[in-house]
Chains A and B, each alone.
Chain A
Amino acid sequence: NAGVMQNPRHLVRRRGQEARLRCSPMKGHSHVYWYRQLPEEGLKFMVYLQKENIIDESGMPKERFSAEFPKEGPSILRIQQVVRGDSAAYFCASSPAQTYGYTFGSGTRLTVV
């Protein structure tokens, strides 16, 4: 049973480009969370999704960021027109239901140059 799979592991984008980060939850998991970790900081919640629904996006920046979790396929975190301040590690986690504690992926490190 593979864990939470995130790809790519590293992503380099020039300022103004789009970044698309993918997360495949563990088999049987229908709840996905995205967190962002800035250098030398803890993780900060961004968004919580269930299949085809955004449940809580209170941690998402108001502009340029969006997330989806379609009926088929991975969850996608999309960042449009990236800026240097978007450089961070982005983590996805999944759970089978509303359980207290979930499994994290290895993260995608986004570098904006």
Chain B
Amino acid sequence: AQTVTQSQPEMSVQEAETVTLSCTYDTSENNYYLFWYKQPPSRQMILVIRQEAYKQQNATENRFSVNFQKAAKSFSLKISDSQLGDTAMYFCAFMKPDQGAQKLVFGQGTRLTINP
């Protein structure tokens, strides 16, 4: 079974700084998807960024980018020019595509606080 580990329960940075959230996963699959979700206090789960394992190029979405190291099974999220609105729980998630359910396996989350 796949597992996802986020080793940083909490992080705190100053506004405008860059912060990197860590995520490692364990799988024997070669083809899969990785995600970062943001959960603000409103509880809504918001997709931040997605990476296909077969793509070598790291995904980017505006201020958000990932460092995908397939051999190391590492998938970190970098937030540049952090903003107060980035304060939230961040979850890393793994999905193995198959003919059945597209199930997401989530890590435990990292609570990120952006200070003014």
The number of chain B residues touching the other chain, given as a range, is: 20 to 34
Whether B100 lies near A102 (C-beta < 8 A) is: no
Q: Using known A-B contacts A48-B101, A55-B101, A56-B101, determine if residue A91 contacts B109 with beta carbons closer than 8 Å.
A: no
Whether B50 lies near A101 (C-beta < 8 A) is: yes
Interface centre among B35, B46, B100 (most CB of A within 10 A): B100
Whether B104 lies near A45 (C-beta < 8 A) is: yes
Q: Using known A-B contacts A55-B100, A56-B101, determine if residue A104 contacts B106 with beta carbons closer than 8 Å.
A: no
Among A51-107, those with CB < 8 Å from B are 55-56, 58-59, 89, 91, 93, 95, 98-104, 106-107
Number of A-B contacts (CB under 8 A): 67
CB neighbours (8 Å) of A113 from chain B are none
B105 within 8 Å of A by Cβ?
yes
The answer for the CA separation of A59 and B95 in the assembled complex, in Å, is: 15
The answer for the CA separation of A13 and B104 in the assembled complex, in Å, is: 28
Whether B103 lies near A106 (C-beta < 8 A) is: no
The number of chain A residues touching the other chain, given as a range, is: 20 to 34
The answer for the CA separation of A104 and B35 in the assembled complex, in Å, is: 13
Whether B100 lies near A91 (C-beta < 8 A) is: no
Among B92-109, those with CB < 8 Å from A are 93, 95, 97, 99-109
Among B23-45, those with CB < 8 Å from A are 33, 35, 37, 42-45
